[in-house]
Protein backbone atom coordinates (compact mmCIF):
# COMPACT_ATOMS: atom_id res chain seq x y z
CA UNK A 1 0.00 0.00 0.00
CA UNK A 2 0.97 3.62 -0.46
CA UNK A 3 3.18 5.25 2.13
CA UNK A 4 1.47 7.36 4.73
CA UNK A 5 2.28 10.98 3.98
CA UNK A 6 1.22 14.33 5.39
CA UNK A 7 -0.10 15.53 2.02
CA UNK A 8 -3.81 16.35 1.72
CA UNK A 9 -5.79 13.45 0.33
CA UNK A 10 -8.81 12.65 -1.79
CA UNK A 11 -10.51 9.26 -2.00
CA UNK A 12 -10.94 7.58 -5.36
CA UNK A 13 -12.15 4.31 -6.86
CA UNK A 14 -13.45 2.88 -10.12
CA UNK A 15 -17.18 2.52 -10.58
CA UNK A 16 -18.17 -1.14 -10.70
CA UNK A 17 -20.64 -0.94 -13.58
CA UNK A 18 -18.45 0.84 -16.11
CA UNK A 19 -15.01 1.15 -14.53
CA UNK A 20 -15.09 4.96 -14.65
CA UNK A 21 -12.74 6.84 -12.33
CA UNK A 22 -14.71 8.41 -9.50
CA UNK A 23 -13.87 10.72 -6.59
CA UNK A 24 -15.56 10.89 -3.21
CA UNK A 25 -17.40 14.19 -2.62
CA UNK A 26 -18.27 16.04 0.57
CA UNK A 27 -21.82 14.72 0.25
CA UNK A 28 -20.45 11.16 0.48
CA UNK A 29 -21.28 10.25 -3.10
CA UNK A 30 -19.08 9.84 -6.16
CA UNK A 31 -18.22 12.29 -8.92
CA UNK A 32 -16.38 11.64 -12.16
CA UNK A 33 -14.62 15.02 -11.77
CA UNK A 34 -11.64 15.31 -9.46
CA UNK A 35 -12.59 18.95 -8.90
CA UNK A 36 -15.61 17.71 -6.95
CA UNK A 37 -13.49 15.60 -4.61
CA UNK A 38 -13.49 16.43 -0.92
CA UNK A 39 -9.96 17.10 0.29
CA UNK A 40 -9.02 15.47 3.60
CA UNK A 41 -6.33 17.30 5.49
CA UNK A 42 -5.88 15.06 8.52
CA UNK A 43 -5.51 11.35 9.05
CA UNK A 44 -8.74 10.81 10.95
CA UNK A 45 -10.95 12.53 8.36
CA UNK A 46 -9.16 10.63 5.59
CA UNK A 47 -9.86 7.39 7.43
CA UNK A 48 -13.51 8.36 7.87
CA UNK A 49 -13.80 9.11 4.15
CA UNK A 50 -12.26 5.73 3.34
CA UNK A 51 -14.84 4.14 5.63
CA UNK A 52 -17.64 5.76 3.59
CA UNK A 53 -15.96 4.58 0.40
CA UNK A 54 -15.57 1.01 1.63
CA UNK A 55 -19.22 0.91 2.61
CA UNK A 56 -20.01 2.02 -0.95
CA UNK A 57 -17.79 -0.77 -2.30
CA UNK A 58 -19.68 -3.23 -0.12
CA UNK A 59 -22.89 -2.04 -1.83
CA UNK A 60 -21.36 -2.98 -5.20
CA UNK A 61 -21.09 0.66 -6.30
CA UNK A 62 -17.31 0.97 -6.65
CA UNK A 63 -14.21 -1.23 -6.66
CA UNK A 64 -11.22 -1.01 -4.34
CA UNK A 65 -11.31 2.57 -3.03
CA UNK A 66 -8.10 4.21 -1.81
CA UNK A 67 -6.72 7.61 -0.88
CA UNK A 68 -4.33 9.60 -3.07
CA UNK A 69 -2.09 12.52 -2.24
CA UNK A 70 -3.03 15.84 -3.82
CA UNK A 71 -1.94 19.44 -3.95
CA UNK A 72 -4.79 21.91 -3.67
CA UNK A 73 -4.81 24.48 -6.47
CA UNK A 74 -7.25 27.21 -7.44
CA UNK A 75 -9.11 24.81 -9.73
CA UNK A 76 -9.30 22.18 -7.03
CA UNK A 77 -7.23 19.20 -5.94
CA UNK A 78 -4.57 17.85 -8.33
CA UNK A 79 -3.14 14.37 -7.67
CA UNK A 80 0.61 14.35 -7.15
CA UNK A 81 1.54 11.03 -8.73
CA UNK A 82 1.59 10.69 -12.52
CA UNK A 83 -0.62 7.63 -12.38
CA UNK A 84 -3.28 9.49 -10.47
CA UNK A 85 -3.33 12.63 -12.56
CA UNK A 86 -3.64 10.44 -15.66
CA UNK A 87 -6.60 8.76 -13.96
CA UNK A 88 -8.03 12.20 -13.21
CA UNK A 89 -7.40 13.74 -16.62
CA UNK A 90 -7.63 10.74 -18.97
CA UNK A 91 -4.88 9.36 -21.23
CA UNK A 92 -2.17 11.89 -22.04
CA UNK A 93 -2.35 10.93 -25.70
CA UNK A 94 -4.78 11.50 -28.49
CA UNK A 95 -6.98 8.44 -27.98
CA UNK A 96 -8.01 8.28 -31.63
CA UNK A 97 -5.52 7.05 -34.25
CA UNK A 98 -4.08 9.91 -36.26
CA UNK A 99 -5.04 8.92 -39.77
CA UNK A 100 -8.57 7.63 -39.30
Partner 1 sequence: MSPTAAARQIDPPANGLSSHAGIYHYDQVDRDFLKERVEQFRRQVARRLAGELTEDEFKPLRLMNGLYLQLHAYMLRIAVPYGILTSRQVRQFGRIARQYDKGFGHFTTRQNLQFNWIKLVDVPAILDLLAEVDMHAIQTSGNCIRNVTSDQFAGVASDEVVDPRHYAEVLRQWSTLHPEFSFLPRKFKIAITGSSADRAAICIHDVGLIAKRGADGTVGFEVYVGGGLGRTPFIAKKLRDFLPEDELIAYLEAVLRVYNAYGRRDNIYKARIKILVHELGIDAFRDEVEAEFARMPVAQYRLEPAILDGIRTRFASQPYEALEPISGILARARLEDQAFNRWVRTNVAVHRQPGYAIATITLKPAGGIPGDVSADQMDVIADLADRYSFGEIRVTHEQNLVLAHVRQDDLPALWKALADIGFGEANSGLITDIIACPGLDYCALANARSIPLAQRISERFADLDRQHDIGELKIKISGCINACGHHHVGHIGILGVDKKGVEAYQLTLGGSAAEAGAIGDILGPALSADETLDAIDAVVGVYLDQRQDGERFLDTLARIGHTPFKDKVYAAH
Minimum Å distance from CB 47 to partner 1? 21
97 binds partner 1 (CB under 8 A): yes
78 binds partner 1 (CB under 8 A): no
Instruction: Map the footprint of partner 1 across residues 32-51, applying CB under 8 A.
Output: none
Residue 2: Cβ within 10 Å count:
10
Written as one string, the DSSP assignment of 24-62 is E-TTSSEES-GGGPPPB-SHHHHHHHHHHHHHHHHTTSE
Q: Among the candidate windows 36-44, 45-53, 71-79, 88-96, which touches partner 1 by CB under 8 A?
A: 88-96
7 binds partner 1 (CB under 8 A): no
> Considering Cα of 48, then 64, then 91, then 69, what sign does the dihedral take?
positive
Please give the residue ranges that form the binding site for partner 1 (CB under 8 A).
14, 16-21, 57, 59-60, 63-64, 80-83, 86-87, 90-100
Amino acid sequence: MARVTDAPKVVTANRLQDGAVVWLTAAGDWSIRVADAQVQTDASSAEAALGIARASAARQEVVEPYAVDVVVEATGPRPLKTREWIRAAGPSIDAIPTAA
